[in-house]
Structure 1
Amino acid sequence: MAKIMIGRYEGSIYREGDGWTGAISLGFGPDGKRKRLKRKGRTKTEVKDKLRQAVEDLDKGVKPDHRYSVTDAVNDFLAAFDKTGRSPNTESVYRSLADHHLIPFIGRIRLKDLTADDVETWLNGRTQHLTSSSLGILHGLLKRSIRRAARHDKVARNVAELVDTPEGKPARKSRSLTLEQANAVLAEAAKSEHRLGAYVILAIVTGLRTEELRKLTWSAVDLDSATLYVLRAERHRGETKTPLSRRGLGIATLGVEALRALKARQAAEKLKAGEAYEDHDLVFCDERGAPYTAHQVRRRFRKILDAAGLNGADWVPRELRHTFVSLMSDHGVPVEKISVLVGHKTTKITETVYRHQIRPEIRDGAEHMNKIFPSKTVKSA
């Protein structure tokens, strides 16, 4: 049995079974019994390193739970995150990333045993599956989870902070429909079998964000004056993305026609559903008045594009906003005017995000869309 000193503590390392056991004396407890801290390992060196770490944790007030895993740390962080009042959408993104890209790979590792090498290897393994942006969110989730665990004395240091986030796969670049494609989509969307048709039409002729469309209410729409008011985007606690997100917009004739048809359809559905109808005053909702989820919007949107002769799986709803910008720019509307119409704080945002859709010079809102898509060019089925 070899006597050792670990910091100010006296201990010993001895052979036990197929490995080694180390123990240090922590004095005596209130009951008069001797208190000892033990660690096991395959070699003396491994045991000594574990004892040093244990003493370091002890001196820092850390009380590691040997069963506490990376999964526990992440779940505890997300449970606490839910109580902070932050956006449920953000929590949903974190949860999805954790469940699909973190927990299945390093979740079973005990937090006290997690190393920077473990984190680096895991992140590098995700580079072919996630974009750089998503990798940054994922890495940040782990760092914040361990930081919280350290704050609760579960671990001494945050090894995730020691690792740089690698580059992920290239992000998918947003595109816009051509004028010919947009006409085909508008014609298809005007058909009565497409419940989301008015949504698609309004997205193209107004450039509203997907979250603005999903939250749009009838009280914010004046069909007689062909105007709608964007009061808030789907931000937590009703906050808008930018101050200019609160704006009034003219609605092109195509949009007005689609909204009138939708309003009549909803009135019939409301009458049929009776008390079962959930009246949230939403412009876009299901047959019972319930708001659409993002998944429902994507599924119905792709169905319309498939029917219009495009591959719906290749497109996402937000690209209708890109289409608005591209068509307005092609039609001669200056970037300054487009920036106001889409609710950007500055033209720099418009030029940066939609740079591949901006053309040199231009003129105005709803009247331009009427020129691009004369009402007679789109016929309902």
Structure 2
Amino acid sequence: MSKITVGAYEGSIYREGAGWTVALSLGFKPDGTRNRIKRKGRTRAEAKDRIKQAVADMEKGVKRDHGYTVARAVNDLIETLAAGGLSDASIVGYRSYAANHISKIGAVKVADLTPDQVEKWLMTLRGTMASRTLGMIHGLLTRALDRAARFDKVDRNVSRLVATPKGKSKGRPSKSMTLDQAKAVLAEAAKPEHRFGPYVILAITTGLRTEELRALTWDDVDLTTGTVYVLRADREGGDTKTKKSRRGLGIAHTAVSALTAHKARQAGEKLIAGEAWKNNGLVFARPDGSGYRSQTAAYHFRKVLAAAGLNADEWTPRETRHCFVSIMSDQEVPIEVIADLCGHASSAVTNEVYRHQLKPVRRDATAHMDRIFGAA
């Protein structure tokens, strides 16, 4: 046994079992008993390092929980967000990230996690997902460790010391249906056997975002004037993507007819459900009134497309918005008008995001001369 000093505290270090133990005297507790702190290690150096860390934590007020894992930290954050009113869709997404990706380092103790471990973990993910998704997963870990630090579970957030690497190259670009394909889908969606048909019809004929459609309520719809008011979205906080996304849109007669029939069907479902009905006022809801998650909406969307003769696996619900832009552009609707209908902050956004769907407006000089002076 030998003496050891750590900061203002004295103690001893000695062999115990197969390793080493360090014991420091911190004085006396209020009840008069001795206040001691012990740390063990496989080697003498490891035991000393652990006692130094324990003293540093104590002086900083950190209540280090050596059983507190990364998985627990992330789960605690998700539970806090859920209790705070974060949308069900977002919570489902976070749980998926936690279970499928963060779980790879989930067993690591928060107190033992190092920047090197975080970096290596992120590098294993970079080849399997886009940069945006990788950033969201890394961000979830960072927020969880921020929370752990606030509750004195750890003295620093090592995730903030690591830059998010770039993910894999972008997947296939979004595409648009041809006019004939869109007509076929609309005709199929109008059939009464497709309960999800009105969603597809409104999506194609208005260009609403998928999260705007899922959050749409009957209070936002005026079937008499054929108007839809976009005031919220199925996003964190319930807000639309931008301030300009809050807008009113006239809707096509086919959409008015589909929504009218859909509202009558929903009224019947409400009677059948009785007290089990979830009174959310949602336009597009399950037979019990509860909202659709994005994955479920995508499933029903593809069923309609498959019935219309399209290869459903090649399409996603968000591409109805690309379809809307493409059809509007083909009909010579000015890009500024399309931007307003889509709720974009400016036509520059429309041009950047949907440039593949926009009909070229530039003509070469010869075409201009022919139009002005007439072809020879």
Partner residue, 1:214: 214
Q: Which amino acid aligns with 1:127?
A: R
Q: Give the whole-Å Cα distance in 1 for the aligned partners of 2:100 and 2:272.
A: 42
Deviation at 1:311, TM superposition (A): 2.4
Partner residue, 2:22: 22
Partner residue, 2:116: 117
Deviations 1:187-231 (A, max 9, x none): 322222211112212211111122332333445444454433334
Q: Which amino acid aligns with 1:19?
A: G
Q: Give the whole-Å Cα distance in 2 for the aligned partners of 1:278 and 1:67.
A: 40
Q: 1:88 touches 1:236 (CA, 8 Å); kept in 2?
A: no
Q: 1:332 touches 1:361 (CA, 8 Å); kept in 2?
A: no
Q: Give the whole-Å Cα distance in 1 for the aligned partners of 2:280 and 2:38.
A: 62
The aligned runs of 1:292-371 (5 Å cut-off) are 292-361=292-361
Partner residue, 1:164: 163
Q: Which protein, 1 or 2, shows the higher relative CO under an 8 Å CA cutoff with sep ≥ 6?
A: 1
Q: Give the whole-Å Cα distance in 2 for the aligned partners of 1:111 and 1:275.
A: 45
Deviations 1:225-253 (A, max 9, x none): 44333343345665333333333322223
Q: Which amino acid aligns with 1:113?
A: D
Q: Secondary structure at the match of 1:37?
A: strand
Q: More displaced, 233-242 or 344-353?
A: 233-242
Q: TM-score, normalised by structure 1?
A: 0.84
Deviation at 1:83, TM superposition (A): 4.3
Partner residue, 1:140: 139
Change (3 A) 1:86 1:294: closer
Deviation at 1:262, TM superposition (A): 3.2
Deviations 1:277-300 (A, max 9, x none): 666554333445444333332111
Change (3 A) 1:340 1:35: same
Q: Which amino acid aligns with 1:130?
A: M
Q: Give the whole-Å Cα distance in 2 for the aligned partners of 1:291 and 1:61.
A: 45
The aligned runs of 1:216-235 (5 Å cut-off) are 216-235=216-235
Q: More displaced, 68-77 or 313-322?
A: 68-77
Q: 2:134 touches 2:167 (CA, 8 Å); kept in 1?
A: yes
Q: 1:188 touches 1:307 (CA, 8 Å); kept in 2?
A: yes
Partner residue, 2:76: 76
Which ranges in structure 1 are unaligned for 5 or more consecutive residues? 363-381
Q: 2:129 touches 2:167 (CA, 8 Å); kept in 1?
A: yes
Matched, 1:153 2:152: yes
Q: Give the whole-Å Cα distance in 1 for the aligned partners of 2:274 and 2:2.
A: 83
Partner residue, 2:369: none
Q: Which amino acid aligns with 1:135?
A: L
Q: Which amino acid aligns with 2:40?
A: K
Q: Secondary structure at the match of 1:82?
A: helix
Q: Secondary structure at the match of 1:184?
A: helix
Which ranges in structure 2 are unaligned for 5 or more consecutive residues? 363-376
Q: Which amino acid aligns with 2:133?
A: S
Q: Which amino acid aligns with 1:27?
A: G
Q: 2:203 touches 2:209 (CA, 8 Å); kept in 1?
A: yes
Q: Give the whole-Å Cα distance in 2 for the aligned partners of 1:230 and 1:307.
A: 29
Q: TM-score, normalised by structure 2?
A: 0.85
Q: Give the whole-Å Cα distance in 2 for the aligned partners of 1:191 and 1:321.
A: 22
User: Sequence identity, in percent?
Assistant: 57
Q: More displaced, 74-83 or 321-330?
A: 74-83
Change (3 A) 1:316 1:28: same
Q: Which amino acid aligns with 2:297?
A: V
Q: Give the whole-Å Cα distance in 2 for the aligned partners of 1:305 and 1:314.
A: 10
Q: 1:334 touches 1:361 (CA, 8 Å); kept in 2?
A: no
Q: Give the whole-Å Cα distance in 1 for the aligned partners of 2:291 and 2:211.
A: 11
Q: Which amino acid aligns with 2:50?
A: K
Matched, 1:39 2:39: yes
Q: Give the whole-Å Cα distance in 2 for the aligned partners of 1:66 and 1:152.
A: 14
Q: What is the root-mean-square deviation of aligned Cα atoms in Å?
A: 2.8
Change (3 A) 1:105 1:256: same
Q: Secondary structure at the match of 1:317?
A: coil
Q: Give the whole-Å Cα distance in 2 for the aligned partners of 1:282 and 1:148.
A: 34
Q: Give the whole-Å Cα distance in 2 for the aligned partners of 1:221 and 1:161.
A: 45
The aligned runs of 1:158-307 (5 Å cut-off) are 158-172=157-171, 173-235=173-235, 239-266=239-266, 281-307=281-307
Q: Give the whole-Å Cα distance in 2 for the aligned partners of 1:193 and 1:8.
A: 79
Q: 1:329 touches 1:359 (CA, 8 Å); kept in 2?
A: yes
Q: Give the whole-Å Cα distance in 2 for the aligned partners of 1:229 and 1:61.
A: 52
Deviations 1:161-198 (A, max 9, x none): 21111222334432222223223322322222211112
Deviation at 1:327, TM superposition (A): 1.7
Partner residue, 2:11: 11
Deviation at 1:97, TM superposition (A): 1.3
Partner residue, 1:131: 130
Q: Give the whole-Å Cα distance in 1 for the aligned partners of 2:246 and 2:124.
A: 42
Q: Which amino acid aligns with 1:111?
A: V
Deviation at 1:321, TM superposition (A): 1.0
Q: Secondary structure at the match of 1:309?
A: coil
Deviations 1:245-267 (A, max 9, x none): 33332222332343344345445
